[in-house]
Amino acid sequence: MVMILFDRFFLFCLLLVIALAPLPLGSNRPASWSLLALVIGGLVVAWGLLASVRPTMFRLQGRDAIWPAALWSLLIGWLLLQSGGPEVLWHPLWDIAGTGLPDGVEGAISVAPFDTGTSAMRLLAYGGIFWLAVQTGRDSSNAHVLSLGVLLTGLFYAVWGLLNEILGTDSILWFEKWAYLDALTSTFVNRNSFAT
């Protein structure tokens, strides 16, 4: 019974994240993706703590989980390494940037280490969503609910976009549209992102 309650809780939270993530400009702004990463990080930590007490929550185990997790960790590790890394690997532009400053600058492999770290954070959030979906979705009734939730979320945002287009509003939520004025974008800025 407790296992079912945990499953339902994480399923509800995951559905809520899936439904709300496209709302703030497609979660394609720093505040939106940071909040998404924070919420997903909290859910993954909570899931991990509960799974350490109730190992039956691990539905994807052993060899099935090791290779994807190892490859994912390599990708995240590579991104984090680029945010700093040994000086011998630093991008040559850091030497040029540091010549005009009295204290120099701290370099990195990446030309934009903050953006590289942000990319790692975003990928970790997407991986967390995937991990929670895999763990909760391996139960067939949960998988059905997740599929239906994704379908209804897509339908909602499509209807929202169509209504805005029919009514002729040139806005995305409460913001005035500044791009793709002649295209349906729903809550996204870019029409291709909405189509995807």
Q: What is the pLDDT of residue 48?
A: 86
Give pLDDT tens digits for 146-181: 899 999 998 998 898 888 888 888 877 777 777 777
Place 3 in a pLDDT band, splitting at 50, 70 and 90.
Answer: low
**H helical segments located in the chain:** 2-20, 30-53, 63-82, 93-99, 113-137, 140-167, 191-195
Look up the domain containing 71 and give its range: 2-195
From 46-55, 133-142, 185-194, the region with the lowest mean pLDDT? 185-194
Question: To the nearest whole percent, how much of the chain has pLDDT over 90?
Answer: 19
At 63 the pLDDT is: 75
**Which amino acid type is present at position 19?**
A
Split at pLDDT 50, 70, 90, the class of 127 is very high
pLDDT higher than threshold 90 for residue 74: yes
Cα 63 from chain centre: 25
Minimal CA–CA distance to 36: which of 14, 6, 9? 14
Q: Into how many domains does the chain fold?
A: 1
Buried b (16+ CB within 10 A) or exposed e, 90-100: bbeebeeeeee
Tokens of 70: 């190892």
Q: 0.85 cut: is pTM over it? A: no
> Are 191 and 180 spatial neighbours (Cβ–Cβ below 8 Å)?
yes
Q: At what angle do helices 140-167 and 113-137 cross, to 10 degrees?
A: 130
DSSP codes joined into one string, 30-65: HHHHHHHHHHHHHHHHHHHHHHHH-GGG--S-THHH
Q: List all residues 6 or more positions away from 51 whose beta carbon is below 8 Å from its beta carbon.
A: 57, 58, 135
The two tokens of residue 38 are 């924070």
pLDDT at 88: 80
Closest CA to 44 of 130, 116, 120, 123: 130
Reported as a single tens digit per residue, the pLDDT across 38-50 is: 999 999 999 888 8
Question: What is the distance between the alpha carbons of residues 3 and 51, in angstroms, rounded to a whole number?
Answer: 10
Q: What is the mean pLDDT of residues 182-191?
A: 78
Question: Which position has the higher pLDDT, 173 or 127?
Answer: 127
Per-residue pLDDT, 2: 66
